[in-house]
Amino acid sequence: MKINISQSSLNKLFILLLLYPSYAVGGIYFFYMDVVLKSVYFGLLILIAIYLKRFFKFDFLIVISAIGLIFLFQLLKFGKGTLYNFLGLIVVFGTPYLLLRLFKFKLIEYFIILVKIFAIISLIFWVLVNLSDSFYQQSLYWPELFKTDKWINESYILFSTRDSRTVFNLIRNNGGFWEPGAYATTLIITLIFNVLRGKNLKSRTNIILILAVITTFSTSGWIGLFLIYLMHFNLKYPNSIAGLKNLKIQRIFSLIAILIMIISFDFLGEKAFEQFTSAKEAELSQPTSGRFLGARKSIKGIINDPLFGKYIVQERENPEQLLRQEDLGMYGFFYLIQRIGIIGFCAFILFIYKGFDVLFHYYNFHIKSKRSSFIMILIWLVIMFAQNLYWIPVSLFVFWIGIDASLKVYFMKNNYMYRITRRIKQKYRIASA
C-alpha cells in the first residue's frame, strides 16, 4: 500500500519538531537544565531566521539593552555576573523572539497542537501508572536507563513519576516536567491561547487540556481553570445582562461546583492553609520550602533592593547555603520582582498585559478586551505564584507581542509626518464644524 504524505503535512511536522524544545524548556529537565542544548537550539533558530531573512529588529535591541542595564547595575553593586551569564539571558529572551519572527501569530496555533499531543500522551501514562503497579515500578528505572534525567532521575521526558507527590492515592500528572505545578503552568497558558482563538471550552482540544490540568492536582492550575471559565464567560457574553439571561442553568451549577471544589478540597484548601501557617511561623534562616516562605524571603529582598533588584543572575552554587539565605525567595513572581526590581517587573507585567490585549483584538474580541486582559494578568500571577517559569518561551510569546505592539504605537505617534497629518485633520474638522 502506497502512503502519500503531502508537502503541507511535512511542513507541519517540521514546525512541530522545531517548536518542541520551546515546549520542553518549560520544565522537562532534559531540556530545562541543559545550557548547551538551549544554546544550540537558539543558534539553529538564528540560522533559520537568516535563511528566511527574518532578522532581529529594533525591539529586540531595546529589550536586551534594558536587561543589560539591570545586569550592569547589579554587577557593579553586588559583583555578581559574567559575560557568560548575560549571554544566557540573551538566549532566554531571544528564543521566543525568533520563533515569533519566524511564524508570527501562527506560532500560537502550532504550539496548541504540540501541547495537545503531549497532553494526550501524559494522560495515557497517568492512567497506566495509576492502574498498573508493575508498570509504575518499571517506569522508575527508565530515567536512569535512557539517561533522560541526570539531575534527579525521575523524568523520562514523556512522563515523570514521583511517588511522594500523590493526592487521593493517585500519582499526579507531571507530564514529564519536574513537578505537576510546572506542567500545569504550560497547560493553562496554552488553554488561554485556545480560548482566545474562539474555541469553546467544550471543544475537543480544550477538554484534553482541562483533563490534563485536573490530573496535575495543582492548586494554581485549578484556580487558573476557574479564572479561565470567567474569562470565557466574559468573552462569550460581553454584555453582562444579556449573558446572564442566556446562561444555562447547568452552567450556573458548574460554576458553583468549581467554587465549592476550590474552597473545600483538602489538597487545595488545607494544603495551602498549612503551607501559609508553616511559612508564617518559620524563621527566615530556615531552608526555603514552599511558595509562602519563598514569598516572605523575596519580600525582604525586595525591601533591601527595590528598584533594580539583585538576582537577575540566578544563584546556583551551594544549594544548602542558598536555601538558608534570608533574602532569597527562589519561588514565583515575588522572586521575579527580586531579580529585576520593581521598575523592571512593572514594565514586564505591562507588556504581558499589552500582549494579551493585542491577542484579544487579533482574534476579534474587541469588546471589553481590557477587562479580559486584566483577568489574563490575574491568571498569570496565580500560576506564577509558586513557579519560576515567567521566562519560559510560552510566557515570553505574550511579552514580545506586547513589546512589538507598544513600540509600533510609540514610533507612529512620534513620527513627524504622522504628527503633521494629525494636525491637518484636526484643523479640517474644526473648519468643517
Is the Cα dihedral 60, 65, 68, 73 positive or negative?
negative
Q: What are the Cα distances from residue 392, in Å, to 182, 183, 397? A: 11, 12, 9
| Alpha carbon 168 to its chain's center | 28
Strand partners, 335: none
Within 10 angstroms of residue 156's Cβ, the number of other Cβ atoms is 23
- 306-316 pLDDT tens trace: 888 888 887 76
User: 170: helix, coil or strand?
Assistant: strand
Looking at this protein, which amino acid is placed at residue 399?
F
- 171-216 pLDDT tens trace: 899 998 988 888 999 999 999 999 888 777 888 999 999 999 999 9
User: 52: helix, coil or strand?
Assistant: coil
Note whether residue 30 is domain-resident: no
C-alpha cell at 388: 519560576
The answer to whether residue 429 scores a pLDDT higher than 70 is no
Q: What angle do CA 225, 204, 32 make, to 5 degrees?
A: 60
Note whether residue 25 is domain-resident: no
Cα 60 from Cα 91, distance rounded (Å): 12
- 32-82 pLDDT tens trace: 888 899 999 999 999 999 998 887 888 899 999 999 999 999 999 888 888
Q: What is the pLDDT of residue 278?
A: 59
Q: What is the DSSP letter of 147?
A: T
Is the Cα dihedral 18, 20, 26, 32 positive or negative?
negative
Hunting for cell 515569533 — which residue is that?
100
Looking at this protein, which amino acid is placed at residue 221?
G
8 Å CB contact between 190 and 201? no
How many domains is the chain built from? 1
Q: What is the pLDDT of residue 427?
A: 52
Note whether residue 192 is domain-resident: yes
- Please tell me which of 88-102, 311-325, 360-374 the model is most confident about, judged by mean pLDDT: 88-102
Note whether residue 15 is domain-resident: no
Question: Mapped to the 3 state alphabet, what secondary structure does 371-416 carry?
Answer: HHHHHHHHHHHHHCCCCCCCCCHHHHHHHHHHHHHHHHHHHHHCCH
Looking at this protein, which amino acid is placed at residue 387?
Q
Note whether residue 286 is domain-resident: yes
Lowest mean pLDDT among 195-199, 372-376, 402-406, 423-427: 423-427
8 Å CB contact between 165 and 154? no
Note whether residue 14 is domain-resident: no
Nearest CA to 22 out of 48, 42, 36 is that of: 42
Note whether residue 343 is domain-resident: yes
C-alpha cell at 65: 539593552
pLDDT, averaged across the chain: 79
Hunting for cell 533574602 — which residue is that?
327
Higher pLDDT, 364 or 397: 397
Q: Is residue 277 packed enough to be buried (19+ CB in 10 Å), middle (13-18) or exposed (0-12)?
A: exposed
C-alpha cell at 86: 548575560
Higher pLDDT, 164 or 99: 99
Q: Region 280-309: what's the mean pLDDT?
A: 73
Note whether residue 83 is domain-resident: no
> Domain range holding 195?
106-422
8 Å CB contact between 404 and 205? no
- Please tell me which of 4-18, 59-73, 265-279, 283-297 the model is most confident about, judged by mean pLDDT: 59-73
The answer to whether residue 283 scores a pLDDT higher than 80 is no
Helix residue spans in 132-239 (DSSP H): 133-139, 142-146, 180-196, 204-216, 219-236
- Please tell me which of 6-15, 16-25, 168-177 the model is most confident about, judged by mean pLDDT: 16-25
Beta carbons within 8 Å of 172's beta carbon, 6+ residues apart: 162, 165, 166, 180, 215, 216, 217, 218
8 Å CB contact between 28 and 148? no
8 Å CB contact between 108 and 197? yes
- Please tell me which of 199-208, 314-323, 412-421 the model is most confident about, judged by mean pLDDT: 199-208
Q: What is the pLDDT of residue 94?
A: 94
Q: What is the pLDDT of residue 218?
A: 86
pTM of the model: 0.83
Nearest CA to 308 out of 80, 95, 139 is that of: 80
Q: What is the pLDDT of residue 433?
A: 43
